[in-house]
Amino acid sequence: MITKEEVLDVQKQWSGGLLKIVEKHQNNEDFTSEASGFIDKLYAYGYGEVLFKPTLATDVQFRLNKAAALSYFVAGNPGFSEDKGFALKGWTNVRWENSAIKLEENFAFAMGNYYFG
């Protein structure tokens, strides 16, 4: 069974991964490859369809494949002209506030808010 601690650890990994993309971008390093690895590690596109609704996406609200998700995080894909690169906004921290975490055998669901600074 997945534990609450594992859910919190994945949230920490997500925050750290996002901030690593920011750092690579600010240092003029390969932030696109960093974002690609972030998606590979923390999203399940390699296993099937992922239901991802990016916070700032309005024209193409749902990103059901890796290329679409990558565009949201780092922009540059002409198929998603609204994308400005969520991970390129210079974030310095991410704070999570979970309202609830539901654990079910091999699945876990967390609901709440996260704040970017």
Ordered by start, the domain boundaries in the chain are 4-116
Element (H, E) at 101: strand 94-104
Q: How far apart are the first and last CA of the chain?
A: 33
Of 47, 25, 44, 27, nearest in space to 35 by CA = 25
pLDDT at site 60: 92
The residue type found at 18 is L
Give the tens place of pLDDT for each residue, 53-106: 998 999 999 999 999 999 999 999 999 999 999 999 999 999 999 999 999 989
pLDDT bin (cut points 50, 70, 90) of residue 114 is very high
Give the tens place of pLDDT for each residue, 16-40: 999 999 999 999 999 999 999 999 9
Q: Are 100 and 111 in contact (CB under 8 A)?
A: yes
pLDDT at site 49: 87
Q: Are 42 and 17 in contact (CB under 8 A)?
A: yes
